[in-house]
Structure formats: C-alpha cells, structure tokens
A = this chain, B = another copy of it.
Amino acid sequence: MTDRQPKPVAVVLGSAAGGGFPQWNCGCRLCSLVRAGDPRVRAATQASVAVSGDGESWLLVGASPDLRQQLSQTPRLWPRTPGRDSPITGVLLTGGDVDAIAGLLVLRERQPFTIYAPAALLDVLADNHVFDVLDPALVRRVEVTPMQPMTCAGNLTLTLLPMPGKVPLYQEVRDATEPEAAPAYAALLHAGGRSVIVAPGCAEITDAVHTQLMQADVLFFDGTLFTDDEMIAAGLGAKTGRRMGHTPISGPNGTLTKLSDLPGRRIFLHINNTNPILLSDSPERRAVEAAGFEVAYDGMEIDL
C-alpha cells in the first residue's frame, strides 16, 4: 500500500560504457582522477536503466555486470518482504555485448521474472549454458519481435527499435578490419501516456533512426565517445567509435548536430571512461549542456 499516485519513472542504475568508470586496467587521466576522489568526476557502473509504469513493478533495460552493486545501491529495487522477494519482474536485453547481458548471472537464486529479448540474443543465452543457472521453471524467456508493441513487465508497453550496430565482441572474427554489421536495439517504453527510449548503442543516426527518436518524451542515448577517434588519440585502443558500434557526440555527423531538433529530454548514457564529458568542468561537458543535452549518472531518477 502506498499513498503515492502511480506514475512512470526511470532510474539510471549505471551510466558508464563497458568496463565502467574507472575501468579495472586503465590508468588514464579520468580514471586516475576518480580513483583519487576528485570531486569533478563521479564513479559510474556499466549501463542499465530501470523503468516502471507505476513505481511498483520494474523492468531492467540491460543486464550490466555491475547489477548486484547497482541493486544494493537502489532502495526502490530492494525486497519488500521477509524471505525471497524482488520488485523486478522483467529484464530486457537490447544488445549482446558482455556489458549488457552478464548481469543475468547475478539474478539467480530462484526468483521468478521474465527475460525479453530478440531472437538473436535468446540464441546467445541458449548457446552459453552458464545462463542455465536461471531455472527455466522460474525465469521465462520471451522473444520480442522488433517494431511490434507488446505488453511487458513493469506495467509498460515495449517496442524494440532496430539501430545500426555490430556483432558482440566475442562473436567477432579476430583481427577483422570491419566487424559484421548486426542490429543493436533501443527500447521504446510507454506508460501513462508518456514514452522513454533507451538507446545505449547506435552506430549511425540515419533518417530512420532520427524519426524513431522523435517519439520520446525522454531519450537515453549512446554517449560512449565525444570524438570518433578518442580512444586512438589517448593511446588506449585501435578502434574508432563507429568501428565499435557507437556514433560520436561531436563532429558533423555527431549526436549534438543530428539530434539538435528533438523535442524531449536528451540524456547521454553508456559513457566511456575516455569521454571528457565525465569531467564536470571540461569544455566538452559545457558544450553538451549548452546544446541542451544532459549527462546521466548512477542513481539519476527521472519522472517520465
């Protein structure tokens, strides 16, 4: 029983890209600042957003490897009764990379809930028997057909939106110059006449993508890199953002330009440890905010 009016809400459980912030093996300037406790940066876990149509029953969008830590830090998602209990009734998988699926392994312990995923991601779960730790008698696996609205956990209506993307890293042919293209997905969720889109990965903002994103009252969008060659310039990798399936924030085809005319709130999510928008007093952070975009942080709560 609660006196609160049921209303749709989203909570950012994790705002960082794969590896988190700081990343375990990274001694870059930003990772070093966060380890030193510099107040201009916040530690961040790997991307996941919890959404609810009523604040009682919740859908997780993305199953981050940091899920146990994220749930410990989020009282709204704690058990409400003695014994086994959780307000989490569903988990939606939108991508197959480790930072988007490994959290399922945290959700063992004989708790019923439903996994929603497109066919290719259900295949990943079936092919990796370690996920059998989730008892099929308790944890249903439901295939979601892209572009077809369906009722789902959290008192929400879900539509899966295809985005340009690439295959997960562990499915790549090693040392290939270009990875195989494969759709990533964004989640469009409706409740109480409001809509939120969670799009942690998008390799290119095409006209079709732009049209889809126009629907959102609140958009969480791929904020992995500020500059396409950011990891190369920092000496931390050989891949551009687009090679990794992520469109950059800046540049002529970057997000600030391409999504300048969206009507709803626009919040960067899935932010890599190299991205200078993580530093509160950086010019890049000021540029993003001046353009009307927000930067997600762990624990950010949005009334939809």
Contact = CB atoms under 8 A, between A and B. Distances in A.
B79 A27 contact: yes
Query: In this complex, which of A22, A107, A108, A132 has the most chain B Cβ atoms within 10 angstroms of its Cβ?
Result: A108
Contacts of A26: 79, 83-84, 109
Interface in A78-98: 78-86, 98
A236 interface: yes
Nearest to A175: B137
A109 B169 contact: no
A108 B171 CA distance: 14
Interface stretch (A3-11, A65-73, A195-203, A275-283): A65-73
A177 interface: no
Contacts of A82: 27-29, 32
A85 to B, nearest CB: 5
A219 to B, nearest CB: 27
Interface stretch (A48-56, A121-129, A186-194): A121-129
Contact of A98 (B75, B108, B174, B237): B108
Interface of A: 18-20, 22-29, 31-32, 35, 43, 45-46, 65-69, 71-72, 75, 78-86, 98, 101-102, 105-111, 124, 127-133, 135-137, 168-171, 174, 235-237
A12 to B, nearest CB: 17
24 contacts: A18-B109, A20-B68, A24-B72, A25-B84, A25-B85, A25-B86, A25-B109, A27-B78, A27-B81, A27-B83, A69-B69, A83-B235, A83-B236, A84-B236, A98-B130, A98-B133, A127-B129, A130-B130, A131-B170, A132-B171, A133-B169, A133-B170, A135-B174, A136-B174
The 4 closest A-B pairs by CB, nearest first: A27-B79, A132-B170, A133-B170, A25-B86
A24 B109 contact: yes
Given A68-B65, A98-B133, A128-B130, A28 B109 contact: no
A122 B25 CA distance: 24
